[in-house]
Every structure is written in structure tokens, then in C-alpha cells.
Structure 1
């Protein structure tokens, strides 16, 4: 061979201090002047950036017989420095802290701690330098695992992830250190448990697992198949919303550098537009469902009225459905109009505006019933913004 010849390494062996390298191409002859090699890392299933390093894990661990091993770059801010000075692929073995065979599925960083999500447990490590001479050390193992590597979202002050029993936050898991304590996903845990069964038994190649965070509107979406659950976080609290349409049919979701959310669907990229209230000309249907309210072990509630605390730009038709006695299939529906917001000088006509309308009067519905527990659903299909603050029940407990 002459000139520069490239070859791949077939095998490497060592005997009595002699290292033998077998190439897939005959490149050595009498004209050889120099030999150089390039070491490349194995094909990781996932790569995560933290502490000025890259961390890799996934398929390479399973191929090497240890799916709970995480690899990292030896040099700072050098994406190619996967091997140390001796040519070794630097790594941390997490199986020693789990007490069983597990698979590393995800990573996150919270308050300077490095979080490793495995299939059955979650490990917390302190420090930032994982090298042998560094300060990286195990701190705690929690008995809560992760069902899929894509179902992790880093919130501004917390980490949201999907465990086998439902959606969880890391802060709550740290407080309780228990597996079955209700968390942000407590009210939709049966939904998540059904999705987990799909993840465990379905074809991994056919599953559409995706997650996206929309910083502008303060929500986080987890999708499995056609089910997309969105956690909306506001200063007043949080709640879950189920998205359908393009979100449920999308093969991938992501937030772009411009802060917009994009969805890949049927070879096209769609942009989520916050200013529109229709989907390709069709009105959205929004349905808000409360948890079961009441005390099953206490006295029954005698209800008289339900006040719907809402506000809209224009009056909109709403439907309130009330369920009781743990029967989600039997409800009583009420139709009414929402209360529209007051007008302002810069966006209203003088002869049509509602000036000096005082305190907004919320819709008050007469709904008399007696029950141990009850739940409510509010549904709206309209072209316009609607803010639903909650429900106020008027009645009393039985004596």
C-alpha cells in the first residue's frame, strides 16, 4: 500500500508484554513511515452534558454485560476526550449501589447533585469530578425507578420523571423515600400505570415516547403512543391536561432555540402557535376534570350550589358535569355561559364596551345532591381564551 491508508481494528491481544493489533486491511509494508490511530467511543444510546463533561450510557453497557455503567469524558469541555492517558474508557459502575441487576435509563442534575435514574432505583451522587482523583461520591439510593429514558423533564427547581407507579418529582421522592406516595401524578396514576404496561410489553421500535418542555407557557408534556399528558405549572398551582390532535399523532416533539414547540408528523414539522385557538380551522375542545372530592370515611356532603370561577375575553358556552358516589359513568350536566373579562380603553369600542362593571359575577348553578364523594368536569369548545380558576361548592356536611 502507498500513500495514506485507513483501516479498522479487528482485534487487539496482549501476551508477555507484546500487544498485537490485527487490522482489516493490509497496510504494513517496507515503505511504512508512520503509524497513527484514533480511538473513538462506543455507540452510546444516550449522551448527557453535566459538570463540563459528556456522559454516555445505554446500549454499550448492555453489550458489555453491565447496563448500569456510565461513561464520561476525562477532559473538561472536550467532547472527544473519552479515553484517559492510558487509553482506558473512563466510567462509573452504578450497580454496586443498587443491590441488583438494573439498567441505567436517564440522568439529571439538581442543586449540584447528579441524578442517575435506573430501572428500579434512583441514585444521587455529589461532587462534579468523576475521575479517580476527583470528588464524585455516592450519596443516596431511592427505591423509585424510571420507566423510559425520554420521560424525564428538568423543571426550574425540580426534576419530573415517570416511575412505574406514575409521575413523580425528585423533591417529593427525597422527602418521603417511598415508592407509593402520591405526587404530582397522583390523580392520573391509573393512566400512567396503563402506559407503563404498554412500555413494558410493547415493541420498543413501534412506541412513540417523547417529552417536551414549553418554557413560554410553563408546561411540560410526556407522550406515550397517542396519549400526551401535559403538566401545567402556574403561580396558583399545577394540573394535568391531556393533549390530542397533532400532539397525539406526532412522532417527535421538541422546543426550538426560539422558544417555540415543534412537532414532527407525517414527514412535516408543525409549529405550536400560542395565538390560535383552532386546529386547522377546527375548534379545540377543552375538558377540565377534578379529582374525587370528599371524605369516604366521614359524613356526607349536602350540596346546594356550585360557583364556577372563570373568566373569558367574551362570553362562552360551558358545560359542567357532576358525578357522585364513585360512579364516573353517571353524571348530571348543566349548560351555562362564562363570565367575560372587563373592557379596557385601548381595545374596546366606546358604544359596545362594558365600562365600570364592578366585580365579576361568576356563574352560580343550582345543584342539590347528597353524596360521600363527588367530582366535576367542565367542558368548553370555543374560539377564544378561557381561564378557569376552580369551583366553589356551597352546602354543608351532615350533622
Structure 2
């Protein structure tokens, strides 16, 4: 941590605003420059002078107090930031950001920044679980905003539930990880081949067999590798996710398509990560015309698809291969079996029946197993965080 980093800290109007002072003190002690922007509502909970004393920087509240200063400062702060953090983040500020509203110094500066943005929500349980708030959070996560999820506990309003600001230590760790990990290039010069998303196996021109994989985990792994210096080839089944910046993207439909793409790029890869949910079987016959519902029952004969990661394991040589095991029972046993049979170096296991660890969600609960069959268990985290955890384990094999 030799190079001084710059954090712009947004403080909004919630009872947890006082905890932002503790966070500020911790960051300053780590030789991080902190510029604080407060909403007017936040000043009802904590005095700007507190932050000025901690940071030795002017705290900005009203962008029209000194218009000349504001015209320069909101852009300079936006460009200066290595990281933009909002702690605590109210439902109101989350809604405004999600809808691109810029009506005060904080939202105006945020809209102008190109730095990563971390948000730590804190609010009443009912406000946090409200579908509108959850939709706004989902929108921001899909754009790439990083969230430190709130804890469950007794809130200032007297209720008990989710919405309590995460521990300051947890927020501090997330900020430090983002500030310094993004500059690490521990995979510089490595070529990584990643599979992601589901495959589709056609029955006829209209129907196909698929699964519930969203591709989110594989795409976050691809982003993490790019951030850490790797050249990435991403072979993806159909998803609704934006293509990550900096990857060579190869779209595929079927398991056979994915197999062919992987084999085509296998030789040049140093690391192969099989995060895709590949269909194990495909229809033996694909009808040229739409199947009509003439009978009460219908029998479809299926044949096995190629096992991509098994084939990678037979051909990889000194390459590193990492697989996934999404199970609903006997998770560790099945994962270890796959690890051995497919000659993998690591396998990432998750029980998709667990809430927060299945398909189509932004979080995961993973266990990483190495060739010595050692199991490392991790708590629920965002898929972005899980991606970096997985990369940390891969980096140990280089």
C-alpha cells in the first residue's frame, strides 16, 4: 500500500451516519485520502466538522453555496476518486442513483465518476425489503455497482430484521480489496478460457431443453481475470448479461457448440474455468417441424453430450483447470468425485438448494476444494466477491 489512494465518501441522512466517521478514521490511518460529500439530511445526524477534523479536507454539502467552487469541485472529485463509496446509503439515494437523478452535490459527483462505486445500505427493514428498493438495488448491481449487504439486527426504529449497516470492519475490508486488488496484476500474461451460462438443446424449431443458469458467476470470473491482468476468452451460452469489457467473446448455443469452441482455444490457454451449466443430454432427433400435441404423453429419447471438462482434463497437460459442482445433496462427496474423475486442479462447489447460492441470484455460497481434497468454506457473498476468492485460490497454483 505504497501509493496513496483517494476515496470519495458519500454520507447520507440515516442514523448510521455516525459510523461513517469511524470508517473515515480507519481509512485515513491507512494513508488513504478521503474527501467527504454529505447530503443536507446527513448533517442532521453528524456535523461536517467531524469529517473535516478527521480528513483535513473540506466537506462539501451544498453545491450552490459557492457556485464557482462547485463547478470545479464536483468534476475534480469525480476524476480524483480511485473509489466512490456511499456509507450509509438510504433507500432515497439508492433510488436516485438507479434512475440517474443528479440533484445535489453527491449525486452530481457520482454521475460524473468513472471509478468503482461501493454502496452500503442502511434503512428500515420494510424499506429495504420493499420490491421497489430491491429492484433499484438489482439495477445497480447489474450495472456494476458493488454492495456491502446490510446485516440483520435491531434497528433504530425498534424493529428487528435486515437493513442494519454492515460492520464498519466489513465495509473497510471491501474498500481496501477494491482499492488495491484492482491494481494487482497477478495474472498478467496469462490466457484464460472460461465457459459460462446455460446451453440450449433444440427439440424442434420452437422448443429446446435448457437450465436455470444465468451466467452471472462465469461473467464475474471473466471480469475479475481482466481486472487482474489476464487475457480472457469467454465462451458463453445464451444469457441476458452485457458482455464484459476486455474479453474475447464467443457466443454458443448447444453443448456441442461449446465443446468445439473450447477445444479450438484450449491449446493457447494457461487456465481453463468451466463455469457453464452444460446440458448432460440432448435429444437424439431434432424435428424439422414444430412438434404437435397429438398424444397424451410424449417420449423423447436423449443421448449424452460430450463432457467438456472431462475432455479438458485428458488434454490439459500442465494447464490449470477449474470446475464447478452445483448440487442439491451430498455436495462435498459429489464435488470430490468430479474433481478426481475430470483431473481438475480446483473445484468450486455450491448447494443450489440453499437460499442465496442458487441460480439467477447475485450472491453465492461456495466451497473450494483442491487436489489434496482440502475444503475451504466461505460465507454468503456477492458473485463478484466470490470470483476474486476463486482467483485467489487459482493464483496459489501459478
State TM-score, norm by structure 1: 0.27
Tell me which protein shows more strand as a share of its residues: 1
State TM-score, norm by structure 2: 0.27
Bigger relative contact order, structure 1 or 2 (CA pairs below 8 A, ≥6 apart) = 2
